[in-house]
Chains A and B, each alone.
Chain A
Amino acid sequence: MVQREAGPARMMSTLGIAGFCSGLALVSVYMITQPRIARNRMEALEAAIFRVLPGARSREALTLRHGELTPVEAGDADPGAESAIYAGYDEAGKRIGFAIPAEGPGFQDTIKLIYGYDPERRRIVGLRVLESRETPGLGDKIIKDQDFVSNFSDLRVTPEVVVVRRGRTNDNEVDAISGATISSNAVVKIINQANARWLERLPTAAAPPPASPGAATERD
């Protein structure tokens, strides 16, 4: 520490220089890390889409425009999780279903998830929870408990998905996690709400594949 009294100019310049150097350092680190962070996010989303749509090899982002599903163009603003869905295509370029992101309130905080839907068979074919802060050891079984997650690998959505306890008997039922009924209900409620929003708007006949499936995987 400087023992003698520092003048006002000295104090101002110290803080000014400190702020400037800090800003310079932060902007540099931000510029270096940002592409990587964006790529990590995209890879996580990509992995989730391919996981909930078994067999998918490429994807295309779709959004609602004037009540119709249209591909998201490269120049468009990011439509956000609530207003975009993803069509998944297999190796031959045939559309095998849609990955639908959805979110809603859980036990502690918002649960964000994505699920795969096969419009031909009208069934959910896969589920992945992307973000949640459910209770460790209880509510976080919506991610970790394979018995629960496997409820969603072949699930009828009509008239709607329901939560049951002590074993599912119908193919539109989900077996609740014991000790985490609220989290189980939350997941099913989120899915039912997203179904109400999206299912009637999805085309059932296979649409033509995207012009270049390879390029589609680069899009976010």
Chain B
Amino acid sequence: MRTQAETYDELVKGLWRDNPVFVQLLGLCPALAVTNSAINGLAMGAATTFVLVGSSLLVSSLRNIIPKQVRITSFIIVIATFVTVADLSLQALAPAVHKELGAFVALIVVNCLILGRQEAFASRNTVRASLADAGGMSLGFSLALLSLGAIREILGSGSLFGVDLFGPLFEPWVIMILPPGGFITLGLMLAVFAHLRARRERAHKEAGDELDERWVA
């Protein structure tokens, strides 16, 4: 039986410690391809959230029914169904967003973050824990795409969410909204995350050493 604290931990681990993009390096294709503006990053994050939370809910509810030999096939059917629903709904309700994201909505089906969470978590945990896990991972993914999109839009277009920031004197760094800008921004963000992790591990170790000395004393 999982406690409240454990559920909370499943939720927050995706935000920072196990962030799908910056730590696990999953779902990099959409993270690079659609983040040339903040709004596109956010829309992609929302579509992925719908698919991931929906799939985790269904897979964790059915985890005792699906025979393990056909589990991957079953997961793929579930995920593909949610992706097609998301694709059609976006076309019907937000055609402008769908036009911007183009083929990348359909490509959510091959986002390894989603299948990864089904295989690693939802297929062996309760519905409640799986929902927390999927929610946290989705939020972490959306935040990552939003921050990449915001940085690239600010530098590459001089605006944020389409609102002009610097006036006519700013010369946009066009490369930031082109593919190389995606790689540059992602690379720098990964370096920041790696640095923070290394520092935390060092702090952890030192704290651990002190603890040991106290134990010895």
Contacts and interface: CB of A to CB of B under 8 A. Distances in A.
Note whether A and B form a binding pair. Answer: yes
Interface of A: 1-2, 6, 10-11, 14-15, 18-19, 22, 25-26, 29-30, 32-33, 36-37, 40-41, 44, 131, 133, 135-138
Which applies to chain B's interface (DSSP): helix, strand, loop or mixed? helix
A32 B74 CA distance: 25
B58 to A, nearest CB: 10
B148 to A, nearest CB: 15
B178 A33 contact: no
B172 A29 contact: no
Contacts of B174: 136-138
A6 B89 CA distance: 37
B38 to A, nearest CB: 14
Given A33-B92, A135-B178, A1 B71 contact: yes
Interface of B: 36, 63-71, 73-74, 77-78, 80-81, 84-85, 88-89, 91-93, 95, 99, 102, 123-124, 156-157, 172, 174, 177-178
Contacts of A137: 156-157, 172, 174, 177-178
A44 B88 contact: no
Contact of A22 (B36, B69, B81, B102): B81
B36 A37 contact: no
Contacts of A6: 67-69
Contacts of B85: 25-26, 29
A43 to B, nearest CB: 9
A37 B92 contact: yes
B88 A30 contact: yes
A158 to B, nearest CB: 35
B179 to A, nearest CB: 10
A2 B157 CA distance: 53
A25 B74 CA distance: 15
A2 B67 contact: yes
Given A26-B84, A29-B89, 16 more contacts: A1-B64, A1-B68, A2-B64, A2-B66, A10-B67, A11-B70, A14-B74, A18-B77, A22-B78, A22-B80, A25-B81, A25-B85, A33-B92, A40-B95, A135-B178, A136-B174
A17 B90 CA distance: 27
B66 A33 contact: no
A11 B172 CA distance: 57
Contacts of B63: 1
